[in-house]
Structure 1
Amino acid sequence: MEIFEITKRFPKEETYSLTDQIRRSSRSVAINIREGYAKRKYEQVFSRHLNDSLGSSEETRGWLDFARDCKYITNEEHKKLDDRYDKVNAMLYTLMTSWQKFSDI
């Protein structure tokens, strides 16, 4: 939700580009994990969703770089969010390599 709140400050001309893209990619991280977990009985499907989630996380980090470079967010906000996505990625890597531990199937 922090991304959503921060993007409310972005200029109107970014509504259908940067604002939309960063909101979409940030939401996609959690949604892909959730959808993949629901289909965890099919290992390849679960794995694909985790990979998609990782891709969305990296996409979000890229959009955060643009937002910082355009001065829509401060360096401090960027660092805080980038650090969080770094942790999310580490958790995703763990989940991708040992997802059976987290599965009840």
Structure 2
Amino acid sequence: MFLQLSHTKLDVFQVSKQLALECYKITKAFPSEEKFALVQQVRRAALSVHLNIAEGCSRTSAVERKRYFEISRGSVIEIHTALDIAECLGYCNQEQLSRLGKLIIQTFKILSGMMSSRN
């Protein structure tokens, strides 16, 4: 946005941004009693994915970068797990989760590759 940093051009950064936005969109339809539970958990995890990618890219140490990418990937798994519960509770269905599922898979794969290839 303001800082023209190189990580903002990375595919993983763009995909994780879309993942976060989709998580916000889908959780808007969740019941109001989930406002401070499942909704906030999914949203926090989605932001964690995006923010940890940004912070990891700013680190000069390969070990530090990898750790931030690991945290980010863990948050992807957290989103996946929370949305599975949301689907079981009837808050959303497979059709509604289709785009989000693709973003989850894409983000997970890119992060996994970054963790194994960055030195």
Normalised by the length of structure 1, the TM-score is 0.87
The answer as to 2:63 corresponding to 1:44 is yes
Q: Residue type of the partner of 2:71?
A: D
Between the aligned partners of 1:32 and 1:18, the Cα distance in structure 2 is: 21
* 1:44 Cα deviation from its structure 2 partner: 1.4
Runs ≥4 in structure 1, deviation > 6 angstroms?
Answer: none
Where structure 1 has 5 or more consecutive residues not aligned to the other structure, the ranges are 101-105
1:46-102 Cα offsets, whole Å, 9 max, x none, are: 1110000000000000011011111111211223322321111110111112235xx
Is residue 26–residue 60 contact of structure 1 (8 Å, CA) maintained in 2?
A: yes
Partner of 2:47: 27
Question: Which of 29, 47, 61 is matched with 1:9 structurally?
Answer: 29
Q: Over aligned residue pairs, what C-alpha RMSD do you find? A: 1.2
- Kindly indicate whether structure 1 or structure 2 has the higher relative contact order, using CA contacts under 8 Å at least 6 residues apart: 2
Between the aligned partners of 2:88 and 2:98, the Cα distance in structure 1 is: 13
Where structure 2 has 5 or more consecutive residues not aligned to the other structure, the ranges are 1-20
Is residue 68–residue 74 contact of structure 1 (8 Å, CA) maintained in 2?
A: yes
The answer as to 2:90 corresponding to 1:71 is yes
Residue identity over aligned pairs, in percent, reads 32
Normalised by the length of structure 2, the TM-score is 0.78
